[in-house]
Amino acid sequence: MEKEIKKNESQQRFGNKNKKLFKNKADFERVFNLYLQHLRSGFREKTFPECDFRTVEAHILGLKDGDLFQAELDKAKRECELLYEKIGYDLIVGEKMGNAGVYQFIMKNKFNWKDKTEIETNSTEKITISFVD
């Protein structure tokens, strides 16, 4: 019989207790640079193997120069999305062969791209929506 993992046990095993992973700032910077490389390679935050990505991102908040690390992290996330946009562009212009449906599926799941926007309201009043380019 498989043992059920309780939430607090799971947090102890996988949660931000990994903060102890960073022995000093140099050690954090080593892991941080691996995290940036992971993102820039197009991989998801959740698949970073060194530690939970939330551990790295939470640690940034406690640093005096955390804004510099945050700026670098934001840039790496943009570069990750740009990597996938370039793949899509190359598919469109025929420079790469691939399955457009698979690409669209990846973008929807990885970057929350949507085909349409749905707005729900309970209002009985007339609503006007304007779109601006």
State pLDDT tens for residues 38-82: 999 999 999 999 999 999 999 999 889 999 999 999 999 999 999
Q: What percent of the chain has pLDDT over 90?
A: 41
pLDDT computed for residue 128 by the predictor: 77
Confidence of residue 9 (pLDDT cuts 50, 70, 90): very low
Q: Domain limits at 19?
A: 7-111
Domain annotation covers residue 64: yes
Domain annotation covers residue 63: yes
Average pLDDT over residues 29-44: 95
Q: How many domains does the chain have?
A: 1
pLDDT computed for residue 7 by the predictor: 44
The CA-based dihedral angle spanning residues 43, 46, 49, 52, taken in that order and rounded to the nearest 10 degrees = 140
pLDDT tens-digit profile of 94-120? 888 888 888 888 888 877 777 777 777
- Cα angle 83, 89, 95 (rounded to 5 degrees) comes to 105
The whole-angstrom separation of Cα 28 and Cα 26 is 5
Spatial contact of 80 and 40, defined as CB atoms under 8 Å apart: yes
Instruction: Look up residue 48 and give its two tokens.
Output: 């970073």
Spatial contact of 46 and 53, defined as CB atoms under 8 Å apart: yes
pLDDT computed for residue 20 by the predictor: 60
The CA-based dihedral angle spanning residues 65, 66, 69, 74, taken in that order and rounded to the nearest 10 degrees = -140
